[in-house]
Structure formats: C-alpha cells, structure tokens
Structure 1
Amino acid sequence: MYTTAQLHLFKIKNGLVAPKYNVALPSMDLAVIKRQIDCIQVQLAQPYVLSSMRLQFNDGSSRTCGYLIHVSVNNEDWKLIAYKYEKPARLWHFLKFDPTPIVYIRITAVRTSINAILFVKVYIEAPAPDSSDSNSTLKLSRSIFCF
C-alpha cells in the first residue's frame, strides 16, 4: 500500500534521492569493492545526492591520520571532496561539500603518526547526522569496516 509517512526522510534533487538518513550501511546494500591497507572503496546501492559525511578512523585510537576522499558516480571520473592532513583519529570528522551525486566513495590514507597499518577500522555515515540532534549518534547505525 502506498503511504507518504516516510517522505520527510528524503528530498528529490535533480531526479535523485537526497537522503536525510545514513545510506552507507550494509542494510542499505552498501558494498565494499576495494579493501587495501591504505584504501577503502565502497559502492552505495544507487546514486544519492550527498553534501556531508562523518568518519572516524582506527576505533578512536590516539594516532593521527591524513586522508583523501574521492567520490564518483561511474567509478571512472573522480571528484576530490576532502583532503585532511594529520587529523586526530579518535575524533569524528565532519565533512561538508557541495551537493554531489555519489555512488562510489574512496577513502585513501596518506599519512599516520605510526608507521603501521593505516586503517584498522573505518566508521562512516553518509550523510552526516543532523548536528542539532544531540542523540543522533545513538539513534543512527553506522558502517564499520575492519581490516
């Protein structure tokens, strides 16, 4: 049966869904298509218009890390949306960028404070939860990729 009860959870922008909830989840058919020591690439279930992400690396360890984030709709043409250098891994990283159609997300480590495995765990939420909701971390699920 058709219902409009869930329409508040997304908008349509240029014919694509712009969700207000985390779509980077295995339960939303997220697929890890590349997993290396210094890189992880995931594929979302469909094209989404996203303008934010939230990430945490290495399970909140005290090390620092630098990273690049590229996004693509076709796995050929990539757009750089973030370059962060020596950010504390224990903190959540909030990324804001222009609304962009995204199917693929590639996170590449460029430096850590310890010459060891660059990514041990990666937590990702896309889009980032609404910062005005203080309980958003507890209410939303997040993807966790372990290496």
Structure 2
Amino acid sequence: GPGDHGIIVKLGAPSIINYIRMLLWDRDIRSYSYYIEVSMEQKDWVRVVDYSQYSCRSWQYLYFENRVVQYVRIVGTHNTVNKVFHLVSFEAMCKVKIPKMLNDIICPNYNVATVDKSAVVIEGVSRARNALLNGDTKHYDWDSGYTCHQLGSGAILIQLGQPYIISSLRLLLWDCDDRSYSYYIESSTNVWEWEMVVDNTRENCKSWQVIKFPPRPVVFIRIVGTHNTANEIFHCVHFECPSCEDGRG
C-alpha cells in the first residue's frame, strides 16, 4: 500500500552485480508484477528491471548493466490473487556473459517455453499437465503425449515465466495419421490485449510448424485450433519459443 517501500536486501558489502535470480511464490497459477531498484546508500535508487506491466511467475532470471550496489529493493506492483507480494528466494551476482537484451528484457536464443524456465500450460487438456513443454517429440500416440482443446471452445494457453523478446516459435501438430489442422496463434504480455502471431485458419497444416514474426515482448501464447480433417479436437504435441530447429539452444 502507500508508504510500502517493498522488500529491501542489504548486501554484505558494496558489490558489482548484473544478475538477479529470485523465486516468486508459485504453488498455484498466480502471477506477479514488480520492479527492482538498486542503490549504494538508499538515497538515489536506479531502476534496473521494470516488469510492472508484465505477468511473471516462479523463477525470475534478470540481467542488467554492471552496477556497484549495496541495497536492492524489490517492489511488487500486482498479484493476480491478493494484495501481497511473496518472494521466496533471492540471489544477486555478477555474470561474465550477459545475454542479448532489449531494454530490460532477454532476447533468448534458447527455448524458454520449458518448466525449467518457469513456463506453464494454463489452458488445454492433457494426460500430463506440461506434456506440451517437456521437450519429448518422439513418444506420443492416440492416447497420450499431446495437449488438446475442443474446436469452437477454449484454446491451448501457455505462460512463459517472464517477458522475453520472441520472434519465432515452433510446434508439432499430432501426426500419427494423414489428418491436417487449421489454427491461429496470438501473443500477449498481460492476458488482456492480444496480438496476432500467425493466421493459418485457411491453411491445411500438418506435423511441424515453424513460425517467424517481427520481434515483440511475449508472456502468453494462445494457440486456437479452428479445423481438423479427422474430428472436432485440436491436438498439439510440442511447443517451443523461440524456434530451435536450427540447432541453437
């Protein structure tokens, strides 16, 4: 509330840091928004990460320019469940290599739609909750190994752990027979405002799909099946972003 200065961490000594790893409480599907500021003497604060407009969950991997700091302030600005910001774990360090960044958002060259990177499937039916993100593109059949939704209602909705600058994605449509699918994909940073990534509603699509688009910040990806030549369900086996078909990551 007003006058709440967030969570302040005092380092043991002034230190050069450029990386923070922290765990937001993640025992349910809630999301948090926050910003992080650093200071030497708690007088002048410099904002190094501002995710106050983004939905974030679980482990956060945050990079910024090298700074000499003694105090770090984490200020929660939103929680989708209640009015409290919950931080479970916090680490600050200096990394030799920093990934490519656009402002304070990572431009990854590795798949960030993984459970290890805090991604989760929020909507979609499957035998195993995160089958879509487990990296298994070999073991699937008529009964398992895919995530699906009924055509005409619902979607497959993926949330990344934090915002990333994404310009490609790849998915594997269920392909144990000769069927083809139609679909469209949208992205969002906040789950309210959606932007079209690709419209394949007039295409007959089979098996692997690689989609490239202008770089944009992404937190949520919504895959909506619109047609299946075999039945009334849309089935997706694997999803990744960015696309790693060229061997990176």
The residue that corresponds to 2:150 in the other structure is 37
| Cα distance change on mapping 1:14 and 1:27 into 2, 3 Å | same
**How far is the alpha carbon of 1:26 from its aligned partner?**
1.2
Separation (CA, whole Å) in 1 of partners of 2:244 and 2:110: 7
> Aligned residues, how many?
128
Structure 2 unpaired stretches of 5+: 1-92, 125-148
Rg larger for: 2
1:104 and 2:217 correspond: no
1:127 paired with 2:216, answer: no
With CA pairs under 8 Å and 6+ residues apart, which has the higher RCO, 1 or 2? 1
User: What does residue range 22-33 of structure 1 map to in structure 2 within 5 Å?
Assistant: 22-33=111-122
Q: How does 1:1-147 map to 2 (within 5 A)?
A: 2-5=94-97, 7=98, 10-35=99-124, 36-38=149-151, 39-59=155-175, 61-84=177-200, 85-88=203-206, 90=207, 92-119=208-235, 121-129=236-244, 131=246, 133=247
Which runs of structure 1 show a deviation greater than 2 angstroms over 4 or more consecutive aligned residues? 59-62
Question: Per the alignment, in what secondary structure is the counterpart of residue 20 of structure 1?
Answer: coil
What are the ranges of 5 or more consecutive residues in structure 1 without an aligned counterpart? 141-147
Q: Tell me the TM-score normalised to structure 2 length.
A: 0.48
RMSD, aligned α-carbons: 1.8
Q: 1:130 to 1:59 in 2, by over 3 A?
A: closer
- Summarize the Cα distance change of 1:102–1:61 in structure 2 as closer, same or farther, 3 Å threshold: farther
Tell me the CA shift for residue 122 of structure 1. Answer: 2.8
The alpha-carbon deviation at position 59 of structure 1 amounts to 4.9
CA drift of 1:11 comes to 0.8
CA–CA distance in structure 2, aligned partners of residues 110 and 19 of structure 1: 30
Task: Name the aligned partner's letter for residue 87 of structure 1.
Answer: C
Return the alpha-carbon distance in structure 2 between the equivalents of residues 11 and 109 of structure 1: 33
Q: Is the 8 A contact 2:150 2:232 kept in 1?
A: no
